Chains A and B, each alone.
Chain A
Amino acid sequence: MFGKLFSFNGGVKPDPSKADSTREPIARLPLPPQLVVPLHQHIGGTPRPLVRPGDAVLRGQRIGAADGNVSSAVHAPTSGRVVAIEPRLMPHASGLSSLAVVIEPDGQDHRAEREYFDWHAASPGEVRDFLRDAGVVGLGGAVFPSHLKLTPGKQGQTDTLILNGAECEPFITCDDMLMRAEAEGILRGALIMKRLLAARQVLVGIEDNKPLAAAALKAAALALGDAALEIVVIPTRYPAGGAKQLIRVLTGIEVPHGSRSTDYGVQCFNVATSLAIWRALEQGEPLTRRIVTVAGNVERPRNFDVAIGTPISHLFDAAGLRPDTDKLIMGGPMMGIPLPGIEAPVVKAMNCLLASSPTLFPPPEAEQPCIRCGECARACPADLQPFELYWHSRARNFGRAQEYHLFDCIECGCCAYVCPSHIPLVDYYRYAKSEIWAREREKDAADSARERFEFRNWRAEREKEEKAAKLAARAAAKPAAKPAAAGAAAAPTSMADDPKKALIEAAMARAKAQKEAVEAKNTGSLTTAQQAQIDATEARRARAAELADGDKPE
């Protein structure tokens, strides 16, 4: 049962800085005067609003319905009145606004009537639909709809279900505190998933800097008495909590970029997601709250249990934002994104809010030339050559960057962390990726324009042919009686017995010749080299499209 641990290459060991926010237990934050619940909080389609301004809502009432299967529902975190459905500032680096349901709580916190659902009796498909409608998405940060990950892989069976409790990023402690407080629920959620995935075993991976969480889970596993559950303490090394890195450490399997881990018999969920699944199925509680770590440049770093839609200013008020704060970060210091403003709401993806100050996270020193020291390559957990990617990205040589596996980069930041030349390496990769995506979009647009144009030409041609055929038919019908006898003697068979058909054939031959003459010069006649180039581009595009479906750490 105690298999050996594996290891991934690279990684870094920054100061975990987790002590400050774990001194106090999780605090339940009172409701703010207004909740701003964004409709789109996950990967996939934007939910349709189910309420209108002025409607009264109850806690747990669905306010946004999943748009198709690759989507997830959104619920009211408390009872109150919908005051607006309008675009609001989102916690997004570029300051995007998106449609949100603004709710004024009535302070009663009345609960919507619980939908009775016996998941034991339901089919796996029904359970997945229920989870979709309960708004359960990955709470580790990637917010991928969980129900989509609960299908067994190609073999129809999953060997190992992994719960990700590694929480490798510095400062973030929400999973740590949740594991200490809710170990049993987390493991019960895991057992539900184990059944859905037909998994053989459940491994919970926890970094060794969280001994209390590991002890709580071990005790809970013992109490549950399921031999398939195993709590595995792994060495602390960032990014051990990246889904692929954790799978590697626990099972030795390397899931290549662009592949599904289920095809390798493994599936990975965050511990908080597991708890959310258990609460949805066993208690009928949709996902309306989450734990958020508030840390960094604050007076009272702590974890808060907050309603989704709470403005982040509310959390910083509770934690005591220090005046010299120069920046707010959503997520950890390695992969977090700078926030556009303090009014953005808490969303399902928000595991941590960090206040930055010039002393805590000093701005990077001036960028110096790369000296090819190779530190980045030694730190890269994806076994890439980051400096090669940097050169090719910088030179806008995006094809080469892709050949060096640009899209295998998980943007963990290890390379930039160790770079002695202070090069913002990850920024270069983000730039290259977005340029490549932009080109794909442009090419797609050009392709569809070309298809439209070709269809229009084809239609014009068809209409012309039809017209010619009609004219020919009329012409043939008029003198039909007179030359019929003579024609029958001179020209035997087909031509004579159907002059109409002959004319049509002639018209079509003309049209075909004409069509060949006007065939596009740039795509009509290609040399083999050109064709090879096009094929290569198509192959790259196909790969890129595959890659686009997200591979972020859970």
Chain B
Amino acid sequence: MYNSPFLRQKTSVRRVMTTVLVAMLPGIIVHVWLFGIGLLLQIAIASAAALACEAGMLALRRRPVARALGDGSALVTAWLIAVCLPPLLPWWMTVLGTSFALVIGKHLYGGLGQNPFNPAMLAYCLLIVSFPALMSQWPGMQGSDAATQLHWVLGGERALDAVTGATPLDALRTGLRGAADVDTVLQSPVFGFVAGAGWEWVALAWAAGGLLLLALRIITWHIPAAFLGTLAAVAGIAWLIDPSQFASPAFHLFAGGSMLAAFFIATDPVSGATTPRGKLVFAAGIALIAWLIRAFGAFPDGIAFAVLLMNICVPLIDIRTQPPVFGHKNGDAP
């Protein structure tokens, strides 16, 4: 026996998750096109690890395994982890990060819908804190063939220096430490027309996928707009004050994980704020902290830490930003 409504829209968690995976395809394709098959290997490894952990934890928790595996949420986490990691990372690190995200980040908190922290960002933070050197080796544009990439990912002898280097954000930081100014640093071949060579195109592809999510109403405009707007604003203020020491807003928008975070990471509904105003506060907070870490911190990109820090604030943000209820528009919020 069930009650009204008897009519229901054709929708499901699986459909939502599948749409997110589809929206990630442009970014993944451009990434692979420019930097080789490393990312595909990481996606395969992370997916396998995520599904195994999800199934194992569901079995331990005595939950229906097949149905929950089919919802696609583990795959979304796995893909998000994979696209955040350097594509030539040894496989066991990807497995470690993914397992940490799924087992500790998700299921120990109660599984789907219950995790307070963004699982992909947990994985990234675990790895960058534990293995800062390996996590900083990113392939350059010169590329390497598929067999070599496979060999490296599977743990072969790592003579990576020839093909990897620092990310644009890292290069900028190191350059500025060496007492150069921004313009001089940006002469390096690591940089392209606005940000990292090649990475600019990947960022644009993420933005394209994100616009698809917006069009399909999987996400709302609040988080991407507040994130990118705040990032551009704080970067712009610093850049206007001292353009020799601070990169331009455009650089920040297209460097590192900005676009990925704006549309795919910060928009994770489970660990993010839920009210419209709350989303604005949440995303603005991430952008501000991420820029501070980029400009003054010790890590190449601060988005992961910023997301986790703002995750902690979500309950408070949600409580303080409850929208007024019909007929109670003049105060009287909970």
Which A residues have a C-beta under 8 Å from some C-beta of B?
8-9, 12, 14, 93, 170, 244, 248, 254-257, 259, 329, 331, 333-338, 354, 356, 361, 363-366, 368-375, 377-378, 381-385, 387, 403-405, 408, 411, 413, 416-422, 424, 426-427, 430
Contact = CB atoms under 8 A, between A and B. Distances in A.
B328 A369 contact: no
Given A254-B326, A374-B269, A364 B4 contact: no
Interface in B1-31: 1-9, 11-13, 15-16
A372 B325 contact: no
A170 B7 contact: yes
Q: Which of B2, B6, B334 has the most CB of A within 10 A?
A: B6
B326 A408 contact: yes
5 contacts: A255-B327, A336-B6, A420-B11, A422-B8, A424-B3
Chain A interface helix/strand/loop/mixed:
loop
Given A256-B328, A336-B4, A363-B2, A405 B334 contact: yes
B174 interface: no
B274 A387 contact: yes
Contacts of A426: 3-5
Given A248-B326, A365-B12, A427-B3, 8 more contacts: A255-B327, A364-B8, A368-B12, A369-B111, A369-B114, A372-B269, A383-B323, A420-B15
Contacts of B73: 371
A333 B5 contact: yes
Q: Which of A329, A371, A378 has the most CB of B within 10 A?
A: A371
Nearest to A387: B274
A334 B13 CA distance: 22
A384 B325 contact: yes
Interface residues of B, number: 38
A248 B325 CA distance: 13
Q: Which of B3, B5, B68, B220 has the most CB of A within 10 A?
A: B5
Nearest to A12: B9
B62 interface: no
Nearest to B16: A420
A93 B16 CA distance: 34
A377 B325 CA distance: 11
Nearest to B7: A333
B155 interface: no
B326 A381 contact: yes
Contacts of B16: 371, 373, 420
B196 to A, nearest CB: 33
A417 B7 contact: yes
Given A369-B111, A372-B270, A422-B12, A361 B6 contact: yes
Interface string B264-276: 0000011010110
B327 A417 contact: no
B23 to A, nearest CB: 15
Nearest to A413: B5
B113 A418 contact: no
A162 B268 CA distance: 44
Nearest to A257: B327
Interface in B51-104: 67-68, 71, 73
Q: Which of A354, A385, A427 has the most CB of B within 10 A?
A: A385
A248 to B, nearest CB: 8
Nearest to A373: B269
Contacts of A365: 12
Given A370-B113, A405-B328, A333 B269 contact: no
Nearest to A369: B113
Q: Which of B9, B270, B328 has the most CB of A within 10 A?
A: B9
A258 to B, nearest CB: 9
